[in-house]
Amino acid sequence: MSLFGGVIPITGITFLMFCIFTILAVGYALGRITIKGVSLGSAGVFIIALIFGCLFYDDLDAQLSGYTTNALKIVENLGLVLFVAAVGFIAGPKFFSNMKKNFTSYVLLGLVIILSGALVAVGCVFVGKLMGETDMERLSAIVSGLFAGALTSTPAFSAAKASVSSPEMEQLVSVGYGIAYIFGVIGVVLFVQLMPKILKVNMDEERAKLVAKESAAASEKSGGKLIQLDDYGIAPFAIAALIGIFIGMVKIPLSSQGLNGTTFSLTTTGGCLLASLAFGHFGKIGKVNVMPPAPTLKVFRELGLVLFLAGAGISGGARFVQEFKIDYFIYGVIMTTLPMIIGFIFAKYILKINVLNTLGSITGGMTSTPALGTLIHVAGTEDVAAAYAATYPIALVAVVFASQFIIILF
């Protein structure tokens, strides 16, 4: 492929970079469009990446000699590491005190969200049966994929694929995941913007309450002049990410077959979140500062988010047209929407959690990386990241088990 009439040839990795940065530029422009106070924000990048994948994936694959899937996984995973580690550092100073006071609430909310989604998924299997579906193994494989996609959970997706009986069933899990993933991203992003408007929440008051509460819980860890590894905090960030990647590689067997059977792991996402939370909480190791400056964390958080959305969107777009079925898409929409509504009502009216922490917990319970980025912009404070980080681990574990339960049940 070439630009400007063949004057500038563009191939391979250069073409991929050209595509990624074009998607980011156009996606941000789309995300800026606001209708009645609601916008896609960073999720605009996902929409443009999705459209690009639908239209130009084959061209990209030709330029990358068939290695497009691997190249996009690198972009997607690099984005996840940057985003999740930045969130962990930001939430770390207040996370453990917040978790200590609200542990039961966060655990309950995470379980309620995942259980609601799982029950909806089981209900969809029965609906499919009533509509004439006779192959229950096939239907349960697709629905388990829809469930993982509706909650944008890669670990649940992997666990579901490992639980089915054949490569054909694995492909059906992938089909369901690809169909539901699209709304799984966009639905939560819109939810965290629409709910405050529907309830006419005074965001200034909620922000003030949250900031005051979290500031009171935070503790300073200065202890004299500290040694800086570098001016921008990139070195401690990299160390935390490296430790997190190793943590994410640890696999825990869930069957009698050991590591050859179904396993559970925190994955790179969970590992990096855990490591960066610890780094952010302690702030230093001896006399060495391991807390990157706030501007670095904000840049890494946003850059990581949009790289993740670009990589995931292109991959999703490539499969979306050939796999799309309206009934499966509707199932996915319900699996995304209903757990959020139930979780919001449960958190606000039963657990009595304030609105911003409720929304932060829902993004964690839905394991939604993009929605947290949107919520931070909507809330005007990064303190909501603590609620996300508190609910995310229990949701991560629960969604993995639930995705396998759907298959085992039928």
pLDDT at residue 64, rounded to an integer: 82
Expressed in angstroms, the distance from the first to the final Cα of the chain is 49
pLDDT of the chain along its 410 residues, tens only? 555 455 455 667 888 888 999 999 999 999 888 887 777 777 788 889 888 988 888 888 888 877 888 888 889 889 888 988 998 898 788 777 777 777 788 889 999 999 999 999 999 988 888 887 777 888 888 899 899 889 988 767 766 776 776 777 777 787 788 788 888 888 998 899 889 888 888 888 888 777 665 555 554 655 568 888 888 999 999 999 999 999 988 887 766 666 666 666 777 777 888 899 899 989 888 889 999 999 999 899 889 988 988 887 887 777 677 667 888 899 999 999 999 999 999 998 999 888 888 999 999 899 887 788 888 888 888 888 888 888 887 887 788 788 878 887 77
Neighbours of 367 (CB within 10 A): 29
Q: Scanning the structure block, which residue is given the tokens 């156009």?
A: 26
Q: Which of the 8 DSSP states describes residue 259? A: G
User: What is the CB neighbour count within 10 angstroms for residue 318?
Assistant: 24
In the three-class reduction of DSSP (H, G, I as helix; E, B as strand; rest coil), residue 211 is classed as helix
Residue identified by tokens 């070439």 is: 2
Beta pairing class for 288-289 and 227-228: parallel
SS3 284: strand
| pLDDT at position 386 | 83
pLDDT at 118: 93
Task: Select from 123, 199, 116 the least CA-distant residue to 366.
Answer: 116
Give the pLDDT of residue 254: 67
Give bridge partners of residue 252 from the DSSP assignment: 264
**Scanning the structure block, which residue is given the tokens 């958190």?**
347
pLDDT at position 147, please?
A: 93
Is residue 198 exposed (0-12), middle (13-18) or buried (19+ Cβ within 10 Å)? exposed
Q: What pLDDT was estimated at residue 215?
A: 55
The residue among 370, 339, 361 whose CA lies nearest residue 105 is 361
Q: Nearest 5°: phi and psi at 8?
A: -115, 105
- Closest listed residue to residue 315, CA positions, set 147, 16, 21, 68: 68
> Do 410 and 136 form a contact (C-beta atoms < 8 A)?
yes
Q: Which residue, chain included where needed, has tokens 């559970």? A: 264
Q: Give the strands of the sheet with 227-228, arranged side by side.
A: 227-228, 288-289, 284-285
* SS3 label, residue 386: helix
For the record, the structure tokens of 34 come out as: 């606001």
pLDDT at 292: 94
Residue 261: the pLDDT is: 63
What lies within 8 Å, CB to CB, of 362 at 6+ separation is 109, 113, 188, 191, 192, 340, 343, 344, 347, 371, 391
